[in-house]
Amino acid sequence: MTDATLDSTRPTEHSADDRPRPVPDRPEWSNIHAPDTHVIAIDAGRQRSWLPDRLRRNPSFVAGTVLLLVIIAAAVFAPVLYPGDPLSMVARPLLWPGQDLAYPLGTDSLGRDVAAGLMHGARISLLIGFVATTIGVTVGTVVGAVAGYRGGRIDDFLVRVIELFQTIPSFILLVVLVAIAQPSIATVTWAIGLVTWPTIARLVRAEFRVLREKEFVMAARSLGFSDTRIVVREILPNALPAIIVTTSVMVATAILMEAALSFLGLGDPNVVSWGSMIGSGRELIRTAWYLTALPGLVIVLTVLSLNLIGDGLTDVLNPRLSRER
């Protein structure tokens, strides 16, 4: 009955997309809810405000970014402030923070400067965190996109591969990989990338399976677009928000994994890392607790900053998801 039809009351996505959907108070027959999204679709054509503006107004995103920028600055200025090797002995061992102002955060049992270690450690943590995530996201996106877009046997096969990776506890796999390959920054990075890609692959596959059925993808196919073009130009931009949000959390996971490896002594022995600092301070935890607490605090702050950014991005990029939580 289109014909004497004054309106399209089909609930269309646009209404839910860019404004919070007010939920009416529930009537007391609790099994009924009003599917009335269309009633607020009055200004559907309203323009969305610019993305950077919305990010700037999001407190989580701003706080996380500020915190992360401080840590990045520490990493960048480490060679300037502490030009020497952070692993070399510079002072009397076990100086407490504040005891000697030349070493504001004290020294460890071998007389190494803790402040220098933390700043140089930031370089390693961030480097491994970002590079490993890039590897993981790239592999995961390619695998997920192929599986989700192609479907059928290829999908079945790739899903098996993803599941294979996910059934093995990822940290054990990581330990095994690093143990086989000799610990170095490069191998640790590759190993972390290799154990994290299935997360992204699953997500991208799910997104692609939904988006593949959308009418605009149908339209692209009917116009004779190639598969590559459909995947890259039509589907991927719509899956990007979800990928970006997950990426920020994956960086945090990668940093934690690197710290854990180093803590176990499986990190690169030639560089200082937050994890190895905790590891070596562990035996003195009763007498010099600051040797474990300070690197621990830095790890917490870094992971917190990335999670705050992730939350902010979720709010801004996936408004529906965050509302349904």
Partner 1 sequence: MTLLSVTNLKTTYRVGTAPLYAVDGVSLDIAPGETVGLVGESGCGKSTLGKTILRLVEPSAGRIAFDGVDLTALPERRLRAYRRRLQMVFQDPFASLNPRHTIGDILLAPLDVHRVGSRADRRQRVSAILSQVGLPEDTVARYPHEFSGGQRQRIGIARALVLGPDLIICDEPVSALDLSVQAQILNLLANIKRDLKLSLLFISHDLSVVRYLSDRVLVMYLGRIVETGSHQQIWKNPLHPYTRALIDAIPDPARRRYAAPLPGDLPDPRNATKGCRFQPRCPLATELCTQQSPELRSARSGQRVACHHAEITAGPT
Partner 2 sequence: MAPLLDVRDLTIGFPSATPVRNLSFSLAPAETLAIVGESGSGKSLTALALMRLLPSTARIASGRVRLDDDDLLALPEVEMRRRRGRDIAMIFQEPMTSLNPVLTIGRQIAEVLQVHRGLSKAQARREAAELLDLVRIPNPERCLDDHPHRLSGGMRQRVMIAIAAACRPKILIADEPTTALDVTIQAQVLELLDRLRRELSLSLLLITHDLGLVGQWADRVVVTYAGRKVEEAPPDVLFEHPLHPYTQGLLAASPRLHENLHYRSARLSEIPGNIASAATQAGCPFAPRCPVRLTQCRTNVPYERDAAIGRRVACHVDISESSRGLHHDAAVSY
Q: Is 324 in the site for partner 2 (CB under 8 A)?
A: no
Closer to partner 1 by Cβ: residue 96 or 216: 216
Contact flag: residue 14 with partner 1 (CB under 8 A): yes
DSSP 38: G
| Minimum distance, C-beta of residue 38 to partner 2, in the bound complex (Å) | 7
φ/ψ (deg, to 5) at 46: -55, 140
4 binds partner 2 (CB under 8 A): yes
Q: Does 41 bind partner 2 (CB under 8 A)?
A: yes
Which range touches partner 1 (CB under 8 A), out of 1-9, 66-74, 113-121, 249-257? 1-9
For residue 47, the minimal CB distance to partner 2 (Å) is 13
User: Which is closer to partner 2, CB of 10 or CB of 286?
Assistant: 10
Alpha-carbon torsion angle 109, 111, 117, 120, nearest 10: -140
- The yes or no reply on residue 23 touching partner 2 (CB under 8 A) is yes
The footprint of partner 2 on residues 156-185 (CB under 8 A) is none
Residue 214 as a binder of partner 1 (CB under 8 A): the answer is: yes
Asked if residue 225 binds partner 1 (CB under 8 A), the reply is yes
Choose between 184 and 221: whose C-beta lies nearer to partner 1. 221
- Count CB neighbours of 28 within 10 A: 6
User: Token pair 């996380």 is at which residue?
Assistant: 64
Told to check if 219 binds partner 1 by CB under 8 A, we report yes
Exactly one of 17, 39, 176, 320 binds partner 2 (CB under 8 A); that residue is 39
**1 versus 80: smaller Cβ distance to partner 1:** 1
Give the span between the Cα atoms of 46 and 51, in whole angstroms. 15
Identify which range of 4-12, 220-228, 247-255, 310-318 contacts partner 2 by CB under 8 A: 4-12
Inter-residue contact 198 to 137 (CB < 8 Å) = no
Based on the number of CB atoms within 10 Å of its own CB, is 90 exposed (0-12), middle (13-18) or buried (19 or more)?
middle
233 in Cβ contact with 112 (< 8 Å): no
Instruction: Please tell me whether residue 31 binds partner 2 under the rule CB under 8 A.
Output: yes
d(CA 325, CA 320): 9
DSSP 102-169: TSTT-B-TT--BHHHHHHHHHHHHHHHHHHHHHHHHHHHHHHHHHHHHH-HHHHHHHHHHHHHHHHS-
Q: CB burial class (10 A; 0-12, 13-18, 19+) of residue 268?
A: buried
d(CA 142, CA 200): 10
- Between CA 53 and CA 29 the distance in angstroms is 42
Q: Which does 303 bind (CB under 5 to 8 A by kind): partner 2, partner 1, none?
A: none
Q: What, of partner 1, partner 2, none, does residue 324 touch, CB below 5 to 8 Å by kind?
A: none
Our CB check for partner 2 shows the closer of 20 and 93 to be 20
Interface contacts to partner 2, rule CB under 8 A: 1, 3-11, 20-25, 27-36, 38-43, 45
Interface contacts to partner 1, rule CB under 8 A: 1-8, 10, 12-14, 17-18, 44-45, 47-48, 214-216, 218-226, 229, 233-234, 237-238
